[in-house]
Every structure is written in structure tokens, then in C-alpha cells.
């Protein structure tokens, strides 16, 4: 039996699905339920991480300080985690998070831009805070490239490193190849974070664990943008049946998932048409609302917009490419 550490970003990644409007009461309630279930790590924050509340990507209903202090008070056994994207968050945001008792902080970077994490990982190491680095949009790099960047992150001080299937593009064999390559290149725990655009998030997460990933992410009811993330209350028993130990109480986890469905979300995410297309195109499904709005105004097929954005290799944070893609399709051309 092998142990897998479950990392639960329901209260951070799930924010994308409700435009970052979770209340302090909702955060507290879910954190208490996850803690009671024995979830090892509970992540909280704006969907785009520390310091990201803004007009560009959405103002959160609750400040970073209140989110962190609320969840810290609610967790008696679970560790608390936060997430930061360089450019949105700063070193000051990291220091504030550490001051609130954050146990684990993840630095997210585009899969081939690991150098952006160096300064922040160094700060976390100096402050004796567990530092992770996750390589986002990881379908845009080969297994060898991901292994190279993962090794660099470890050299910068990451105590765990891994990949996000940000667009829900992978199949299990893709995950196996990438996790295997990273596992061979580093001597720290390897992370996998899946999205469910093609309905493969649980299968991909199991493949990651079987390939050597020691930290697997999952959200209650798959709470997240578009088709959502790996569904936590399915993932845990499937991992257990596959021979992995999570240490999580199943009934407690099911109770937490029911709380999440009742109190956090209008409805659980579904694998809809645009989510499937965004997964096939390799485009972050968080673009969905903006793609729909602009496509409808211009009278173009939003599915074509996603494939055009995929051709342009658009990544999260490049929402400004959506009007270019829409305009190009309207004119019967290709975006630059």
C-alpha cells in the first residue's frame, strides 16, 4: 500500500466557478467539514491566487486576509495552503499569508517559465514555509521539458513539484509519460492537478499516482471553472480501491461534498460542449464566459473561437486574445 497526500483546492480553484464570490461563512463551513473528514491539506484564496482580486479577473467577495484567517481558525487538524501566480501576487502577499499561519504555499508558473518562481521559492525557504511549484498548461510541453523545468524548480527550493492539466487536455497515457519523466528527474514529491474537460480527471489522477505522484489534487463535486476539477469524493475511494492510502474518512468526505454542493455552488460542474471543445483545443476553460459573450455579439461559433485560441496557444491571463480571435473569425481570417 502506498500513501498519497490529497490536496484540496475547493476553496481556491472552485472560486472560478462563482466569480470569486464565496463568503467567509461558506469558507468556514467547508473548511470545518474537510477538516473533520481528515483531508490533509485545504487550499483557500481567490481563484487566481494571492493578490489577484482585481477588475481584470474579478474582485473577490472576501479579502485575502479574511479568507486566510477564517480558514486558519476552522482547521484543527488539516494544514492550510495558499496559491500564488507571480505577477498577480507579490512577496508581500507571501509574507502576509505566512503571517496568517499558512503551512503550504504553491507558486504557479507557465510550464516553461520556471525562472519566474525562483525569487518566491527562495523567500518561502527562508521563512521555513513548505514551498511547492506547479507547472501550468503542462500539455504545451513535452515530458522531457517538464522534467527539466521541474528539476529547476527543485533547485530553486521547491519541496514538491508537479503539473496542472489546466485545460483538461490529457489522457492517462499522457499523464503517465509526464509524471514518470518528472519522477525520474527529482527527489521530492510530485504533484498532479487534473481538470475534467474530457471526463478523464479521475482516471488521469489515478494514472498519476500509479506513475509515482505523491500529491494529488481534488475538489468537492469537482467544483471549478467549466467542467471542473477532479471530483474529490470519487477520487479518494477509487485511489483506495487501487491500492493507495489517503487517510481520509469516506463518510466525512461525502458529507463535505454535500455541504459544498448545497452551500458553495449553484450546481455541480458538468462536462458541457464548450468544456469538451476547450479540452480538445488545449485552452483554459475559464475563458468560457468571455468567449460566449464575445462570440454571441459577433455572431460566430464559440467552438471555433476555442479552436482558434488553441491554435494561438493562448494561456490563462491572455483573455485579451479572445476579441482578436473573434474578430479574425468574423472576417474569415486567422488571428495573428
Q: CA nearest 56: which of 96, 85, 95, 25?
A: 85
- The half-sphere exposure of 180 on its side-chain side, counting CA atoms within 13 A, is 9
Tell me how crowded residue 103 is: count the other CB atoms within 10 A of its CB: 16
DSSP string, 276-288: HHHHHHT--GGGH
Helix, strand, or coil here: 54?
strand
Q: Note whether 65 and 34 are within 8 A (CB).
A: no
**The total number of residues written for the chain in this structure:** 336
For residue 3, list its beta bridge partners. 245
Q: CA nearest 85: which of 175, 174, 186, 16?
A: 16
Contacts of 252 (CB under 8 A, 6+ apart): 33, 36, 37, 38
Which residues are catalytically annotated? Answer: 16
Amino acid at each position: 500500500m502506498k500513501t498519497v497526500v490529497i490536496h484540496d483546492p475547493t476553496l481556491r480553484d472552485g472560486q472560478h466557478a462563482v466569480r470569486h464570490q464565496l463568503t467567509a461563512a461558506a469558507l468556514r463551513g467547508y473548511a470545518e467539514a474537510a477538516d473533520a473528514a481528515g483531508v490533509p491539506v485545504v487550499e483557500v484564496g481567490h481563484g487566481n491566487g494571492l493578490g489577484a482580486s482585481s477588475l481584470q479577473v474579478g474582485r473577490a467577495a472576501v479579502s485575502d486576509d479574511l479568507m486566510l484567517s477564517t480558514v486558519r481558525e476552522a482547521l484543527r487538524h488539516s494544514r492550510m495552503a495558499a496559491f500564488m501566480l507571480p505577477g498577480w501576487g507579490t512577496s508581500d502577499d507571501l509574507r502576509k499569508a505566512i503571517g496568517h499561519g499558512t503551512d503550504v504555499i504553491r507558486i504557479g508558473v507557465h510550464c516553461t517559465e520556471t525562472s519566474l518562481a525562483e525569487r518566491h521559492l527562495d523567500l518561502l525557504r527562508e521563512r521555513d514555509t513548505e514551498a511547492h511549484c506547479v507547472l501550468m498548461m503542462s500539455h504545451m510541453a513535452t515530458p522531457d521539458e517538464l522534467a527539466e523545468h521541474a528539476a529547476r524548480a527543485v533547485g530553486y527550493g521547491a519541496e514538491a513539484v508537479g503539473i496542472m492539466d489546466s485545460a483538461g487536455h490529457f489522457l492517462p497515457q499522457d499523464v503517465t509519460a509526464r509524471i514518470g519523466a518528472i519522477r525520474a528527474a527529482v527527489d521530492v514529491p510530485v504533484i498532479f492537478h487534473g481538470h475534467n474537460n474530457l471526463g478523464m480527471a479521475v482516471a488521469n489522477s489515478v494514472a498519476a499516482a500509479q506513475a509515482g505522484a505523491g500529491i494529488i489534487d481534488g475538489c468537492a463535486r469537482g467544483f471549478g471553472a467549466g467542467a471542473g476539477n477532479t471530483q474529490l469524493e470519487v477520487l479518494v475511494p477509487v485511489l483506495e480501491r487501487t491500492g493507495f492510502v489517503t487517510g481520509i474518512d469516506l463518510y466525512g468526505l461525502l458529507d463535505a461534498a454535500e455541504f459544498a454542493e448545497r452551500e458553495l455552488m449553484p450546481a455541480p460542474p458538468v462536462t458541457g460542449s464548450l468544456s469538451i471543445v476547450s479540452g480538445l483545443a488545449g485552452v483554459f476553460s475559464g475563458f468560457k464566459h468571455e468567449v460566449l459573450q464575445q462570440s454571441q455579439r459577433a455572431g460566430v461559433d464559440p467552438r471555433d473561437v476555442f479552436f482558434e485560441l488553441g491554435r494561438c496557444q493562448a494561456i490563462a491571463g491572455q483573455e485579451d486574445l479572445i476579441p482578436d480571435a473573434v474578430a479574425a473569425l468574423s472576417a474569415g481570417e486567422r488571428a495573428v
